[in-house]
A and B are shown apart, each in its own frame.
Chain A
């Protein structure tokens, strides 16, 4: 097509200018700045001296960093695979329904995802309240002991993981539903003519065809849960935050509570690299499995 090159450039630059300006200011500059800051002993706001890799050297000996790291890993283990299974089960149940029933049921499962974390926190803080929570009434009814869920280190992470699955599962359900809809109905009809049982149908038709979506859901969940902060912070309020630290929480603590910008930046860089490494590995795996087809 005939193009007026110079004019096209000008228009393109006008169009991308606001985006590029914002990106440079809010993304590129802070990312570079983060690396610089991690080599300084700076406070949160203000100048600091260059200290080499001292901020990083401290990390292996730092007990709170260890807690944050392992809690994050624990949280990932508690949410990613269980959450994906729950979402898969829900979407299998929802996809059989039709019409208004399906819309209604889907809305009920999806509604929590729409809510702000503060609201989710209030709802579950109330439902699991040690004195008056409805869950405790249920425990009473079964003759079990009440548990101060968010005040007990053992129960804290599983409970937050449970709430997180409840909160974010709707998202994965949507992805699975899209994947299930993409499977041609003829395949099921052909399988039904072959007298395939329901389980074999799932095992040999649905599951393999749904695998790309499952992989996607797992990846998204994994990266999302590595960055966990909000729920942990809110449920820790008035509890024992030092036992419940996760990576972002620890960055927050170092920077905003201890006023140690440099040391916080070093932790941020570690998390940054963790996420990038996982993304790259995942990207390569996806490419590999696509090539195998």
Chain B
């Protein structure tokens, strides 16, 4: 268990910056998720902490110790690889013990740690099998077990669930959350899946284009995205973006949409053109005429809720969320109401401003 801090670290591959002056503090026992699309630099950042990539500039401190020049094995972090990287010629026990043997640990201590880890992960019966004889989920556990036995300062996970099927992914996600509660250790977890990020993280670090877009709790990131990128990347179905013009000031502020409809709101930005962002759940179907009207193009029924993909009069596309028993059918004209407290305006730089 340890604090990890990154101070303006950067990295280039052949002249191209892949990590650009990132600073980040992670507290002991925290579950931090690096979230971003592929190529955002999230895996590189994790691998820099692990020591698998060099740090070209800046400082890495693990548990108060400057670590950017230490070899991977000496940083007291353990990593769970995306493809698990279990040694195929060793048994489960051998896989878990390999790292401990390499540092010359006592055999009795190794045995004890392996047995303990096996008990935690409920795989006592599998210890003498080889990876090829295990299912995908079991391999995943062995990979975690291999990390646990090291009793590391921090666990690093590199998209650990991406090789599991959908059902198993959900189950393993819950198990990982339980594991974190039990071990109370620092965990850094890389993923491109926002559901994993939302469900697991104490704090999410959203990365894009080699930079941090936002750091915050899952609900912060969801409700108050810092940038247009974060707003679009987090949440499923994704946020609606509409061209809008902000007019007026003080109490008679309002935005005008492309179809001419007006929405009153309260926000601290000067008048002008903006991208208006609103999540589908803040767009409601209304029985009576409301803010505007759209034509339902496609209606997706998910059982517990219904997604209605609409076109406004000027052709602007918009998605609304309705209850599972919605009676809207494709082709219907639908009255729409906006929850003005959940409106966001994004300026030309993509910076978000939230309605009050």
**Contact flag (A, B; Cβ within 8 A):** yes
Bound-state CA distance A180–B72 (Å) is: 46
Q: Which residues of A contact B (CB under 8 A)?
A: 1-2, 4
Q: Nearest Cβ distance between residue B14 and chain A, in whole angstroms?
A: 15
User: Residue B138 at the A interface, CB < 8 A?
Assistant: no
Question: Contact flags (1/0) for B311-352 with A, using CB distance below 8 Å?
Answer: 000000000000000000000000000000000000000000
What are 10 A-B residue pairs whose CB atoms fall within 8 Å in the complex? A1-B52, A1-B53, A1-B54, A2-B51, A2-B52, A2-B53, A2-B54, A2-B71, A2-B72, A4-B71
Q: Nearest Cβ distance between residue B30 and chain A, in whole angstroms?
A: 25
Question: Contact flags (1/0) for B145-178 with A, using CB distance below 8 Å?
Answer: 0000000000000000000000000000000000
Q: Which residues of B contact A (CB under 8 A)?
A: 51-54, 71-72
Q: Nearest Cβ distance between residue B67 and chain A, in whole angstroms?
A: 11
Q: Nearest Cβ distance between residue A206 and chain B, in whole angstroms?
A: 34
Q: A1 contacts which chain B residues (CB < 8 A)?
A: 52-54
Bound-state CA distance A203–B150 (Å) is: 61
Chain B residue at minimal CB-CB distance from A4? B71
Q: Nearest Cβ distance between residue A201 and chain B, in whole angstroms?
A: 37
Bound-state CA distance A1–B11 (Å) is: 12
Bound-state CA distance A4–B70 (Å) is: 11
Q: B51 contacts which chain A residues (CB < 8 A)?
A: 2
Bound-state CA distance A211–B43 (Å) is: 43
Bound-state CA distance A143–B72 (Å) is: 82
Bound-state CA distance A1–B72 (Å) is: 9
Main secondary structure of the interface of B (DSSP, over half): loop
Bound-state CA distance A2–B49 (Å) is: 12
Chain A residue at minimal CB-CB distance from B70? A2
Bound-state CA distance A200–B71 (Å) is: 62
Q: Nearest Cβ distance between residue B298 and chain A, in whole angstroms?
A: 35
Chain A residue at minimal CB-CB distance from B47? A1
Q: Nearest Cβ distance between residue A89 and chain B, in whole angstroms?
A: 38
Chain A residue at minimal CB-CB distance from B55? A2
Q: Nearest Cβ distance between residue B81 and chain A, in whole angstroms?
A: 13
Q: Nearest Cβ distance between residue B45 and chain A, in whole angstroms?
A: 15
Q: Nearest Cβ distance between residue B194 and chain A, in whole angstroms?
A: 29
Bound-state CA distance A2–B50 (Å) is: 10
**Which 6 A-B pairs rank lowest in CB-CB distance, beginning with the nearest?**
A1-B52, A2-B51, A2-B54, A2-B71, A2-B72, A1-B53
Q: Nearest Cβ distance between residue B330 and chain A, in whole angstroms?
A: 38
Q: Nearest Cβ distance between residue B90 and chain A, in whole angstroms?
A: 22
Q: B52 contacts which chain A residues (CB < 8 A)?
A: 1-2
Bound-state CA distance A2–B51 (Å) is: 6
Q: Nearest Cβ distance between residue A4 and chain B, in whole angstroms?
A: 8
Q: Nearest Cβ distance between residue B327 and chain A, in whole angstroms?
A: 46
Q: A2 contacts which chain B residues (CB < 8 A)?
A: 51-54, 71-72
Bound-state CA distance A2–B54 (Å) is: 6
Q: Nearest Cβ distance between residue B56 and chain A, in whole angstroms?
A: 12
Q: Nearest Cβ distance between residue A7 and chain B, in whole angstroms?
A: 11
Q: Nearest Cβ distance between residue A3 and chain B, in whole angstroms?
A: 9
Q: Nearest Cβ distance between residue B51 and chain A, in whole angstroms?
A: 5
Q: A4 contacts which chain B residues (CB < 8 A)?
A: 71
Bound-state CA distance A2–B72 (Å) is: 8
Bound-state CA distance A2–B71 (Å) is: 7
Q: Nearest Cβ distance between residue B323 and chain A, in whole angstroms?
A: 46
Bound-state CA distance A4–B72 (Å) is: 12
Q: Nearest Cβ distance between residue B79 and chain A, in whole angstroms?
A: 12
Bound-state CA distance A156–B54 (Å) is: 68
Q: Nearest Cβ distance between residue B297 and chain A, in whole angstroms?
A: 38
Q: B54 contacts which chain A residues (CB < 8 A)?
A: 1-2
Bound-state CA distance A279–B54 (Å) is: 43
Bound-state CA distance A232–B301 (Å) is: 81
Q: Nearest Cβ distance between residue A26 and chain B, in whole angstroms?
A: 33
Q: Nearest Cβ distance between residue A8 and chain B, in whole angstroms?
A: 13
Q: A1-B54, A2-B53, A2-B54 are known contacts; what are 7 more A-B pairs with Cβ within 8 Å? A: A1-B52, A1-B53, A2-B51, A2-B52, A2-B71, A2-B72, A4-B71
Q: Nearest Cβ distance between residue A107 and chain B, in whole angstroms?
A: 28
Chain A residue at minimal CB-CB distance from B48? A2
Q: B53 contacts which chain A residues (CB < 8 A)?
A: 1-2
Q: Nearest Cβ distance between residue A265 and chain B, in whole angstroms?
A: 49
Bound-state CA distance A1–B53 (Å) is: 4
Chain B residue at minimal CB-CB distance from A3? B54
Bound-state CA distance A31–B72 (Å) is: 46
Chain A residue at minimal CB-CB distance from B53? A1
Chain A residue at minimal CB-CB distance from B52? A1
Q: Nearest Cβ distance between residue B107 and chain A, in whole angstroms?
A: 28
Q: Nearest Cβ distance between residue A6 and chain B, in whole angstroms?
A: 14
Q: Nearest Cβ distance between residue A169 and chain B, in whole angstroms?
A: 36
Q: B71 contacts which chain A residues (CB < 8 A)?
A: 2, 4
Q: Nearest Cβ distance between residue B47 and chain A, in whole angstroms?
A: 8
Chain B residue at minimal CB-CB distance from A1? B52
Q: Nearest Cβ distance between residue A283 and chain B, in whole angstroms?
A: 31
